Amino acid sequence: IGEYRDLYPEIEAFDTGFLKVSDVHSLYYEQSGNKDGNPVVFLHGGPGGGTSPRDRRFFDPKAYRIILFDQRGSGKSTPAAELKDNTTWHLVEDIERLREHLKIEKWVVFGGSWGSTLSLAYSQTYPARVKALVLRGIFTLRRKELEWFYEGKGANFMFPDHFDEYISHIPEVERGAVIDAYYRRLTSEDESVRTEAARRWSTWEMATSHLYVNEEKLQKAGTEPTWSLQFARIECHYFVNGGFFESGSHLLDNVDKIRSIPATIVQGRYDMVCPATSAWELHKRWPEADFFMIPDSGHNSNEPGTRTKLLDATDKYKSL
């Protein structure tokens, strides 16, 4: 399996701000690393997951001008967990607004999980603005991917214990459409109903995001109700709307628009949240992209084998 790499050292942002992108939403963004460096934008997962200071550490701070931002309703962006005007295509335009606001011509785009979904949607819409793509834990939001993880048609066979916690919250009569059942609760007028549904949904995802269950991450879903609500409510909103794509396979059908962009795809073989089939489908449509199936990883970006290949990829594109 070879030598594992560690993340780059902890660094602080040298600039932070809020960008008003609609009469409802303002986005938190930050810049770190080299202010005159090669710009890279980090697209976080979820949707609704928000960024964290550790996300800066996938990039050489001497080479990169590192830009993180919290997507609509996520992290420090306001209003928290707001679903109005919150769609894939709003986010694609937000990325362009942020790019223009920061006076950047072209940038490297880095995204995992939902962040890979958004990276594909953004680069297929604005290919001329993308220097290179680094994609991890491929999620194309096809119906079968949602059914695998959220509707009891796959991941639950590998994590039956944790799935019980998630599914037992929904009465049998509603289990034919679990995502819809959770959506009714996550958009309930009753805060206690929203909070418990968010805790169950987020705990299920945190429990299954690593090859070995990460107890610390598991606690986060239960001890950070605002984060849990942002994560669960925004994810569920995108899923009941099929990602706002006109067809289930929209992103895979449009790969030809980005095949000339330098790219690296990194996928954990034991990713239970975004199973490897989507990465494999993407790879077959995009033979020019570097492709790494990590033999001992699950979904998370910081599992050793995955982290190592992501760091190699950002090093490869640092001087573009």
Ligand X SMILES: CNCC(=O)c1nnc(C(C)(C)C)o1
Round to whole Å and give the CA distance between 209 and 141. Answer: 17
- Point out the catalytic residue in the list 113, 119, 209, 301: 113
> In the bound complex, what is the minimum distance in angstroms from residue 30's beta carbon to ligand X?
16
Specify the stretch interacting with ligand X by CB under 6 A; choose among 39-47, 101-109, 246-254, 286-294. 39-47
Question: Does 69 sit near ligand X (CB under 6 A)?
Answer: no
Round to whole Å and give the CA distance between 223 and 198. Answer: 11
Round to whole Å and give the CA distance between 292 and 305. Answer: 10
Taking CB under 6 A as the criterion, the residue among 39, 49, 111, 268 binding ligand X is 49
Structure tokens at 51: 């960024």
**Residue 113: active-site member:** yes
Please list every residue from 194 through 233 that binds ligand X, using CB under 6 A.
205, 209
290, β-bridge pairs: 264
Please list every residue from 116 through 145 that binds ligand X, using CB under 6 A.
139
Nearer to ligand X, 202 or 264 (CB): 202
Q: Give the strand pairing for 26-33 and 263-268.
A: unpaired
Structure tokens at 284: 């077959």
Question: Does 75 sit near ligand X (CB under 6 A)?
Answer: no
Specify the stretch interacting with ligand X by CB under 6 A; choose among 18-26, 43-51, 126-134, 188-196. 43-51
216: Cα separation from own chain's centroid: 19
Question: Does 45 sit near ligand X (CB under 6 A)?
Answer: yes
Question: Does 273 sit near ligand X (CB under 6 A)?
Answer: yes
> In the bound complex, what is the minimum distance in angstroms from residue 227's beta carbon to ligand X?
9
Residue with tokens 């034919």: 176
Specify the stretch interacting with ligand X by CB under 6 A; choose among 44-52, 101-109, 128-136, 190-198. 44-52
> In the bound complex, what is the minimum distance in angstroms from residue 123's beta carbon to ligand X?
17
Backbone angles phi, psi at 171, to 5 degrees: -60, 145
- Point out the catalytic residue in the list 55, 60, 70, 271: 271
> In the bound complex, what is the minimum distance in angstroms from residue 189's beta carbon to ligand X?
26
175, β-bridge pairs: none
Specify the stretch interacting with ligand X by CB under 6 A; choose among 12-20, 23-31, 41-49, 118-126. 41-49
Amino acid at the residue 248: G
> In the bound complex, what is the minimum distance in angstroms from residue 176's beta carbon to ligand X?
21
Taking CB under 6 A as the criterion, the residue among 107, 110, 114, 317 binding ligand X is 114
> In the bound complex, what is the minimum distance in angstroms from residue 272's beta carbon to ligand X?
10
Taking CB under 6 A as the criterion, the residue among 37, 42, 44, 298 binding ligand X is 44
Specify the stretch interacting with ligand X by CB under 6 A; choose among 45-53, 87-95, 193-201, 241-249. 45-53
Distances (CA, A) of 302 to 83, 154, 224: 29, 24, 21
> In the bound complex, what is the minimum distance in angstroms from residue 43's beta carbon to ligand X?
10
**DSSP H or E run through 64:** strand 64-69
Round to whole Å and give the CA distance between 182 and 170. Answer: 8
Among 311, 313, 217, which residue's Cα sits nearest to residue 7? 311
**DSSP H or E run through 185:** helix 178-186
Radius of gyration (Cα) for the chain, nearest Å? Answer: 18
Nearer to ligand X, 39 or 49 (CB): 49
**Residue 271: active-site member:** yes
Residue with tokens 């009753």: 190
Residue with tokens 């805790």: 199
Structure tokens at 250: 């929209």
Write out the catalytic residue numbers. Answer: 113, 271, 299
Instruction: List interacting residues with ligand X (CB under 6 A).
Output: 44-46, 49, 113-114, 139, 205, 209, 235, 273
